[in-house]
Structure 1
Amino acid sequence: MERIREIPYNYTSFSDREIVLRFLGERGWALIEALRDTRRTGRSARMLFEVLGDMWVVGRNPYLQEDLLENATRRRHLIQALEHRLTQFESRLDDNPMAAELLALAREAVQRFAGCFEARRRLRRRLLRALAGITRPDNVDFGGLARVAHATDATDWRVEIPFAV
């Protein structure tokens, strides 16, 4: 039986499993599956899936990426909201070692997500330096519109949006 998607904002062809694997790895998916039948209210699971959904939607949307890259306050608020949900998750652990391990994986994923913005900024500078002798800087476009315009069904870009055009 096909399960209903639990990760919000997932309007892609990716399954919840594929998204969890990207952020939490095989172990994270195994823990989610093992904990699925022990849910009472599902509140902790919903909070975890909201965290994954927020990171997923930003990762799939170049416009949001650009906005968060340019707006440190908005980026900080998003990271704080993700961390707050994980703190709420932690308050409901009930000494469950599998849930604690899942929480640790989620916290690592949020840390990686938080660091990706500065890493992206450094990579942009590096790319512009590498291309400096070949083309003018204004020929390289990191903007959301250019990146989305090149994410067509005729290419594999629809799976991974281009970094620059």
Structure 2
Amino acid sequence: MSALGEVLVGLAILVGLAGTVVQVLPGNVLVLGAILVWAWVTGGAAWWVFAVAAVVVAVAETGQWLWAGRHLRRADVPWSTLAWGGAAGVVGFFVLPVVGLPLFFAGAVFLAELARRRDRAVAWRATVAALRAVGVTILVQLAGGLLAAVAWLVGLLVT
């Protein structure tokens, strides 16, 4: 692959890593897709790098669901509450770009839990638990994306 191609793959990986933090773009899908393109063009040992990156991303994606789910079950926050929060977050993103997503997500989770439990303190604790779970998923996804990017960098130096 040409130097320009490798720079473009690196930029796509950076955009993917940013997507894991911002949660608007499918971050690790972009990271893995960029590494796939690089492996396709480079060939040979680059496929081993892609395999390592794919395993790391798959473990991170699975781990984020298990870890966040366990956290939410302990706080007794149902998935339906998160669905309301997610839908409101998407609407919020377009109503108030960037800041609307977390604000509308937290507000919807609080209102859904307040309607379900009829206690503000309990609804607030559930909202905090949901926000922590989102934070955990972001960190786990970012760790997986970073490890995949490191695998690509090592592969880039070796091939």
- TM-score band (shorter)? 0.3 to 0.5
TM-score norm. by structure 2 comes to: 0.37
Higher helix share: 2
TM-score norm. by structure 1 comes to: 0.36
Higher relative contact order (CA 8 A, sep 6+): 2
